[in-house]
Structure 1
């Protein structure tokens, strides 16, 4: 049997950020309609904060597909001349069980995760948001910025912070405009990109904050946050990870991508355990908000949080889109 394989290069050529956003938003809606199945995730840390892996799997009945993604984050790969995020998506027919194809996991992960952060902001951030902050300068940062610009074309300033190395943030900011043009065909001539060294100051001046780090300790404190701020918390995808102060959740409007996984391994895990967030205060899953089944932001002063651990459903939907396009 000749199983189709779509490489990272082919993903970049054939998948636009608009496509990734559409596939991702559709999955959130299907999940809210109970038209998806998510199976338990397997996590393992080889070196906490520096090397880990996960296996995520699921089933999309309407597309007649199921499958899994195995992906690994290996920070030391950068020094070896290798990508720090590597993986593979396997797609199967739910009607025959036959494999339909394999797709590079790192490139799809980047696109659908960027889409997730932006969709969370699209439905929860203030519509007049002008300043955004990306906390983290790793593999995911360009994808988050590209997707955010698609969702908020009127953004004026995007600040980038690396809490452990301000030099990395400055270097990233100096090259992101060219990366957006080359990798995503996005012109960002009117946007100011800044690498920041003072995280507290950057947080206090941001309307939208996207966190994409593997941190196990809070990087952002509640007292830094101005009224009306939206958070898309992307980095916490394993038990014990935490990027923002749990006190931020006390009065926040909170949505998740998948309640079960977020409860066990997302940004809400520790606030739930500490009691700064109760489960009955979680407003719902993002698909519920998109479909109007749950209420989101009520005023321009609300603090809103979208907790995304990521789901194989997103990878499968995007991989299926690419495999069908490639036929």
Structure 2
């Protein structure tokens, strides 16, 4: 048997967004229905290197398919300056759950960007207004691109506003999507008054205020993935229909972690988990809703679902590099 090595380009080619969104939604449903195993994300802190490692294993049974894997990912902020390497890198090991054979090793960085966009799209599909045509994004880094790509797959997006303190990054984003959307740079309030807003920044002091949003905006809070990170003002979280991806992760390291652990926000302020909505146990957007918020920390089940899509298409397209990892 052989293991398939898949690089960034392979992952990109083999993740058709509509199929990826469907797979991530299946993963949320499997987790809610008790058909998934996802141990808590574990951390190895390396203060001597100003970084950390994180391991994210999961198994899920989506009915017509099941899959298992683990993502090994780092966050080393000094990498770009000191080593000319990305701050975040990831490697995904995708295994056959029946016999545990490692079917593939793939780039986990591109995989993370793709599945993060897909998760926002699942939430947007259930929580944004049906006739949404405008999308705003705060933060013009790499995550912003797949946010737009994915959300445009579930809503007919025409107008796009991107906000970032880095004018060069804004222009790069505008140029990239200029042929597909009416896209421009703008303020946080300009982005926030779109029908859908995604925030993809690493800040620890909230930068989106209540007045920055329209009264119907759906917000995907995607940037907070560690203790102390916090993009949205507490008043937004308290007044919104607040949906989270996983209780343990969001209270520890999601958008709500700061106000929750300060006692400002409580369990009573959380409407539910996205899995409850995709399985129909709780309503998504209703006519009574104003601002809705999805707090996404990123789950290992999403990585496994995305890896499943990548592997199935890589095998179908006969790309990647097969090699004899175990010699069996």
In the other structure, the counterpart of 1:199 is 188
Identify the residue that residue 250 of structure 2 maps to in structure 1: 262
Aligned partner (choices 209, 224, 234) of residue 236 of structure 1 = 224
Structure 1 segment 37-52 matched on structure 2, within 5 A: 37-43=37-43
Find the counterpart in structure 1 of residue 212 from structure 2: 224
Q: Residue in 2 aligned with 1:28?
A: 28
Match of 2:131 among 104, 128, 136: 128
What root-mean-square deviation, in Å, do the aligned CA atoms of Structure 1 and Structure 2 show? 2.3
How far off its partner does 1:263 sit?
1.5
SS in 1 for 2:3: coil
Specify the alignment match of 2:110 in structure 1: 107
Summarize the Cα distance change of 1:93–1:170 in structure 2 as closer, same or farther, 3 Å threshold: closer
CA distance in 1, matches of 2:22, 2:223: 22
1:257-295 per-residue CA deviation (whole Å, 9 max, x = no partner) reads 112111111111122223342213322211211221102
* Aligned equivalents of 2:174, 2:31: Cα separation in 1: 39
Alignment partners' CA distance in 2, 1:3 and 1:177: 36
Q: Residue 59 of structure 2 corresponds to which residue in structure 1?
A: 59
Partner Cα distance (1:54, 1:235) in 2? 16
Moved more, 248-257 or 83-92: 83-92
Residue equivalent to 2:291? 303
2:310 to 311, 317, 322: 322
Judged with a 3 Å threshold, the aligned counterparts in structure 2 of structure 1 residues 129 and 325 are, in CA distance, closer, same or farther, namely closer
Q: Is the 8 A contact 2:141 2:169 kept in 1?
A: no
Equivalent of residue 161 in structure 2, options 159, 162, 169:
159
Distance 1:223 1:322, change over 3 A: closer
In the alignment, the residues of structure 2 paired with residue 128 and residue 223 of structure 1 have an alpha-carbon distance, to the nearest angstrom, of 22
The residue matched to 2:194 in structure 1 has which SS? coil
Q: How far did residue 78 of structure 1 move?
A: 5.1
Q: Determine if contact 1:84/1:139 at 8 Å carries over to the other structure.
A: no
**Distance in 2 between the 1:126 and 1:78 partners?**
39
Worse-superposed segment, 117-126 or 220-229 = 220-229
Q: Supply the distance in 1 between the matched residues of 2:312 and 2:159 (Cα, whole angstroms).
A: 37
CA apart distance, 1:218: 0.5
Kindly indicate whether the alpha-carbon contact (under 8 Å) linking 1:249 and 1:271 is maintained by their aligned counterparts in 2. no
Pick from 264, 272, 275 the counterpart of residue 287 of structure 1: 275
Give the Å deviation of 1:136: 0.8
The alpha carbon displacement at 1:54 in A equals 2.5
The offset of 1:140, in angstroms, is 0.8
How far has the Cα of 1:53 moved from its partner? 4.2
Q: Who is 1:145 aligned against?
A: 148
- Contact kept, 8 Å, 1:53 with 1:70, in 2: the verdict is yes
Q: Secondary structure at the match of 1:137?
A: coil
> How much has 1:126 moved relative to structure 2?
1.1
| Separation of aligned partners in 1, 2:201 and 2:45 | 15
Q: Secondary structure at the match of 2:239?
A: coil
Match of 1:94 in 2: 97
Q: Structure 1: how far apart are the matches of 2:198 and 2:79?
A: 24
- Quote the Cα distance in structure 1 between the aligned partners of 2:257 and 2:301: 21
1:118–1:144: 8 Å Cα contact kept in structure 2? Answer: yes
Alpha carbons 2:251, 2:261 under 8 Å: kept: no
Aligned to 1:251: 239
SS in 2 for 1:54: strand
Aligned residue pair count: 310
